[in-house]
Amino acid sequence: MKKLEDKISKNGKVLSDQILKVDSFLNHQIDPVLMQEIGNEFAEKFKGEGITKIVTLESSGIAPAMMTGLVLGVPVVFARKRKSLTLINELYSASVHSFTKEEKNEISVSKDYLSQDDHVLLIDDFLANGQAVEGLLSIVEQAGASLAGVGIVIEKGFQPGGEMIRNRGIRVESLAIIQSLENGKVSFAEGSTL
Amino acid sequence: MKKLEDKISKNGKVLSDQILKVDSFLNHQIDPVLMQEIGNEFAEKFKGEGITKIVTLESSGIAPAMMTGLVLGVPVVFARKRKSLTLINELYSASVHSFTKEEKNEISVSKDYLSQDDHVLLIDDFLANGQAVEGLLSIVEQAGASLAGVGIVIEKGFQPGGEMIRNRGIRVESLAIIQSLENGKVSFAEGSTL
């Protein structure tokens, strides 16, 4: 997605060979117009798939997921990062390790909002080591729901998550795929805008 | 806002005289179409105020804030609930006590995304004891930004937050004001749909 790549090139901050900060339009400050365009793009890719629900993870997945849900006309469920006071047997949950933050989170979705009748599109802001997506996939599986695919705003192509998930036969659509952050420069993979 | 009140009456769960659960369309599962209408409503109320930025709190404030930002054409910043690895002197922060969850959160906004040039609309999903809004107001003040007002999706009129904030001369627009949750029934305050 050309406009997203331009935004990353212009406003992303390369903190190291591994870390890209996109706090100015995606993770902390949000650009609503860009989010709308991202939502349109995901909806275009997955329309006609019979999706009944979008599942994402708080907090940075909510904006792109909601814009996609608006276009597809389906509800969005965001997995929470820690257990509320709700009883554990009312939840689907999975353990997710964050390499960036060096912490483990329990993520969970209420059984009320995901079932075997659902055909799910997973949306997340980043795909790097794939831990968050794996956790969400586990939740979809626990619910007995089927999966249409995974929509990612920014994939770090030089980290193993994308390959790992595609190797399971899962359709992954990333709107921007970063090939390298070396020398403080963002390089995109060929064809990431397909 | 009639449609919001209808949704609360139909899908809200009264757990006690104090607690209303709106997990099915606002706090966990999100209804994107309702969020768009909520965004339109806030934008209508605050248009012409010269707002430059919307500030909210993760996670449940993000959806209504983003829809409002889309209509007003301004960025949204969501305060984070715990410190990241970023240096503390790059953040505005405030301490927020949650009565519902019986915990204290540090909320913070990067100094990069809020300044004295900003005229801010605060948006949040709930107003009850007013702790979250007080924290956000403190952050706006620390930034030296000016405040247009506060937009709340659901105000619990029987708890002190709304009065406390209005008594400081701050404009608070709540799209639904709940007068009582007694006897398992949601009663709305007169005029909350104005």
Q: Give this complex's ipTM.
A: 0.94
The pLDDT, as a whole number, for residue B88 is 64
List all residues 6 or more positions away from B153 whose beta carbon is below 8 Å from its beta carbon.
B4, B26, B38, B64, B124, B125, B126, B174, B175, B176
Comparison of pLDDT for B39 and A194, the residue scoring more: B39
How distant, in Å, are the alpha carbons of A97, A136, A143, B1 from that of B177? 40, 35, 35, 9
- How would residue B3 be classed by pLDDT, with cut points 50, 70 and 90? very high
For residue B110, pLDDT over 80 is answered with: yes
Do B39 and B64 contact (CB within 8 A), yes or no?
Answer: yes
Comparison of pLDDT for B160 and B88, the residue scoring more: B160
The backbone torsions φ and ψ at residue A97, rounded to the nearest 5 degrees and listed phi first, read -95, 125
Angstroms from B166 CA to nearest CA on chain A: 27
- How would residue B98 be classed by pLDDT, with cut points 50, 70 and 90? confident
Cβ of B75 and A32 within 8 Å? yes
Give me chain B's average pLDDT, please.
Answer: 93
- Residues of B within 8 A of A75 (CB-CB) are 25, 29-32
B92-107 mean pLDDT: 85
CATH number at B129 reads 3.40.50.2020
Tokens linked to B115: 């300044």
Cβ neighbours of B177 (radius 10 Å): 22
How many helices (H) and strands (E) chain A has is answered by 5, 11
3-state class (DSSP) for residue A123? strand
pLDDT lower than 50: segments of chain A:
192-194
The pLDDT, as a whole number, for residue B82 is 77
Q: Is residue A99 part of a domain?
A: no
Q: Is residue B193 part of a domain?
A: no
Q: Is residue A141 part of a domain?
A: no
B113-138 mean pLDDT: 97
d(C-alpha A187, C-alpha A179), whole Å: 5
Do B67 and B114 contact (CB within 8 A), yes or no?
Answer: no
Q: Is residue A96 part of a domain?
A: no
Do A131 and A99 contact (CB within 8 A), yes or no?
Answer: yes
The backbone torsions φ and ψ at residue B12, rounded to the nearest 5 degrees and listed phi first, read -70, 145
The pLDDT, as a whole number, for residue B193 is 43
Q: Is residue A48 part of a domain?
A: yes
d(C-alpha A94, C-alpha B104), whole Å: 25
Q: Is residue A107 part of a domain?
A: no
Q: Is residue B194 part of a domain?
A: no
How distant, in Å, are the alpha carbons of A57, A81, B79, B81, B134 from that of B107? 19, 16, 6, 4, 11
CA B54 to chain centre: 10
What DSSP line would sit under chain B, residue for residue?
-HHHHHHHHHH-EE-SSS-EE-IIIIISEE-HHHHHHHHHHHHHHHTTS---EEEEETTTTHHHHHHHHHHHT--EEEEBSS--SS-GGGEEEEEEEETTTTEEEEEEEEGGG--TT-EEEEEEEEESSSHHHHHHHHHHHHTT-EEEEEEEEEEETTSTHHHHHHTTT--EEEEEEEEE-GGG--EEPTTTT-
Q: Is residue A135 part of a domain?
A: no
Domain count, chain A: 1
Q: Residue A90: is it exposed, middle or buried by C-beta count within 10 angstroms (0-12/13-18/19+)? A: exposed
CA B8 to chain centre: 16
Question: Is the CB of residue A58 less than 8 Å away from at least one CB of chain B?
Answer: yes
To probe the interface with A, which of B35, B60, B78 has the most A CB atoms within 10 Å?
B78
Domain with B48, as residue range(s), is 2-83+91-188
Q: Residue A102: is it exposed, middle or buried by C-beta count within 10 angstroms (0-12/13-18/19+)? A: exposed
- CB pairs A-B closer than 8 Å: 103
Which residues are paired to A80 by β-bridges?
A108
Do A35 and B36 contact (CB within 8 A), yes or no?
Answer: no
Closest CA relative to residue B66, chosen from A72, A38, A175, A21: A38
Question: Is the CB of residue A19 less than 8 Å away from at least one CB of chain B?
Answer: no
Closest by Cβ to A69, choosing from B32, B59, B112 = B32
Cβ of A23 and B112 within 8 Å? yes
Tokens linked to A192: 């990431």
Q: What is the pTM of this model?
A: 0.95
Name the DSSP class of A61.
Answer: T
The pLDDT, as a whole number, for residue B84 is 52
Amino acid A125 reads: D
- Residues of A within 8 A of B74 (CB-CB) are 32
